[in-house]
Structures are given as C-alpha cells and as structure tokens.
Amino acid sequence: MINPIGSDKLNPLFVSDESQRNALIDEAQGLPSLLVSSATAANAVMFGGGYFNPLTGFMNLADALSVAENMETTSGQFFPVPILNLVKSTESIKNTSRIALRDPNVDGNPVVAIQQIATIETVSEAQMARMTDKVYSTSDPDHPGVAAFNAQGNIAVSGAIQVLNYSYFETDFGGTFRTAVQIRSEIEQRGWKRVVAFQTRNPMHLAHEELCHMAMDRLDCDGLVIHMLLGKLKAGDIPADVRDDAIRTMVKLYFSENSAMVTGYGFDMLYAGPREAVLHAYFRQNMGASHFIIGRDHAGVGDYYGAFDAQTIFDTEIPKDALQIEIFRADHTAWSNKLGRVVMMSEAPNHSKEDFVLLSGTRMREMLGQGIAPPKEFSRPEVAEILINYYQSLDAG
C-alpha cells in the first residue's frame, strides 16, 4: 500500500487508549478553554483521524505564511494550506500553557481536543490578506471560503493537540464517517492494491458514476473509495445524509460486489479550488489511495477558478516528490446522444453541445422540486427519487 506522507506509518492524534483518554477528558474540565471555530474543530477531527499526517498540531504564524507562499513549512514539510487555530480573543487562556478546545458544533460545547500552547501570535491585516490571496486566489469577501477564513479572528494559537472525540461526525454519520486509519485498514482487508478515490460534496449523477468506472478501468484499480465531505457547506448544498442515501443506493445497484467503498470525512469545505485539490490529494494518500480523480473545477465555487486549474497546479506549483499519489485528470462527463453512452466531452470528436444531455444546477433543482425526474441519461431513477423527496420536503416545510 502507498505510504502516508512524511512517515512510514500514520500517526493519528486521536487518543485511542481509553483510560488515557478518560483521564484527559477529566483534566480538560479544569483547563482554561477556547470555543473554537467550526473549521478549527473540523481540523482537529482531521488531525485525530490521521488525515493531516505528519503534522502534530496547529501551525505557528511563520509556518502558516510559508505554507501559504510555497506549500512548505519553515522546516520543509510539504502541506498545501495553512492549518491555524484562529481566535478573536485569548483572554480566557492567559498565563497558561495547556488549554481545552471546545466544539461549537455540538450542544454543550464539549472538549474536542487539548492543545499544548507553543505560541500566541497576532496576525496582521496584511498577513491575513496574503494568506487569503495565496490560498483562495481571491480576496473577495463574497467567496464563502474567504469569508469563513477571515471571520475566525486574527490571533493564532499554535501547538500540538490530543484529540478526544470526532465531534458530531461519528455520532451523526456513524455508518459513513471513517478515519484515514480505518480506511487504510479496510483497503487492506479487502485485498485492494490499486485504489482510486473520488471526492464529492454532491450526490452522484450518472456522469459521476461512469467517471468512476472509467477511472477504475483505465487505471486497472481493484477498488474505489467514494469519500464524501460531511462537514459544513455553503447555503444551498444538499445535506450529507441525503447525499449518503443517494450514493449508497447507486453503489448497491450499479457497482459490483467489493468494488466500491462509501465513506466520509469530517472537514469544512474551503472552496479553494486548486489549493484545496492538492489538500484533497494529500489526505487521500494518507488514507491509502494510490490514485485520485480530479475533474473540472474541482473544489471550486462560482467563477473564481479556471476549469482545469485544479489539475495544472500539480504540474506547476507542487514541490518535487511531495506526493506519491497519482492524479486521474477528468474532463466534464456527459451522456452522448450520438454514442449512446457517457463520455468525457473532450474525448468525443464531432460533437456539438446539443449532442450531449446537459442540465444546469438551477434547472436540475427546479425539476426535482417539481417532482420531475431528470432524463435517465442524466441521473439514475433511484437516485432521482431520493432527491425529489428531499426537494419536495423543503417546499412542504
């Protein structure tokens, strides 16, 4: 199996020893605490699951700025985006070196992790702006990732963490949420050697399904890991439980036995386009995938990124030998009326736009909300039924 990044084995930061974890939970009740942002809590979950291996905690300002500029920490460790614990005030943690990080996404704000403070640094307006521009390629406050990043605060608390739970992900998505450690273990149990991963924050329509089949066939893969984002999304995105139901139904009906694994991870979407595509590849290598599908406008939003910027960044900006995982570069896929099957549009010569079955997201939502199933060339009927029920429940509410 492919090695994790920066070490021979994964070093997840979740405290797996139950007695030690219970002792830390007891200790946490007496520690000064911070109510952290949703992004910070989700990052703690990613640390806990081994996805951010070999990082041991939240970055200091020098490392964050270095990562933003050239995707390497000051010591030369590759990482695609700054991972900061940003807060608006540190009044509650003055004169202490060990603090509890409280989860904003769970009732009662339980402690998600304990952090050993290494530094507390004020991030200047210029430094926030530089990191924003480098990671998101824009400073537009209407960009959802830019808005979320800059809303957290400008005080960075760095240091190693010990993760005590997986927030709401393990309880709300118990059948789907998996750590990188668990996915590696299941890949090994299934006997897969070559594994391709598919990232999604949306339900999978026929074109997505066929793209996965294409990648598996062309790469000669033993298995596919459908890895869906379970964290915070932007307004209008379909909730994780609905996506989960739709994807599991598709896999059950249209994938052969022991060929596809449906999993999810606890992370708040950045919508950072190319940089986030690299981050996605980073933690897919850590979870054991040898290949990763990156399609048109991967991790993008609006018109902030070029259609294939998330692919070309792997050629132009990543430090040499930073990643072992290989990228499967996909174009937009759609049903060809001429050929009677789903194709990559770039691989379909002598086609005009009218030769493909294409639906805009807006038109798709309109149809589903009206109880109209999209064409069978666009969506499996069983998937469409699940989405129709969801959109009609919104209208009923």
Alpha-helical regions (H) of 159-273: 169-172, 180-190, 206-219, 240-254
Beta carbons within 8 Å of 79's beta carbon, 6+ residues apart: 52, 55, 67, 71, 72, 73, 282
- Residue 10 to residue 13: CA distance in whole angstroms: 10
Q: Which residues pair with 343 in a beta bridge?
A: 334
Instruction: Indicate the SS3 state at residue 66.
Output: helix
Q: Which two tokens stand for residue 177?
A: 């949420």
Residue 386 in contact with residue 242, Cβ under 8 Å? yes
Tokens 């400008």 map to which residue? Answer: 154
Residue 48 in contact with residue 8, Cβ under 8 Å? no
Q: Which residues pair with 326 in a beta bridge?
A: 291
HSE, CB side, 13 Å, CA atoms: give it for residue 150.
22
In SS3 terms, 309-347 reads as HHHHHHHHCCCCCCCCCEEEECCCEEEECCCCEEEEHHH
Q: Which two tokens stand for residue 113?
A: 């992790």
- Residue 255 to residue 83: CA distance in whole angstroms: 36
Residues 173, 169, 136, 288, CA torsion sign: negative
- Rounded to the nearest 10 degrees, how much is the dihedral formed by the CA atoms of 139, 141, 142, 148? 100
CA neighbor of 276 nearest in space, from 292, 253, 298: 298
Catalytically active residues are: 201-202
Beta carbons within 8 Å of 76's beta carbon, 6+ residues apart: none
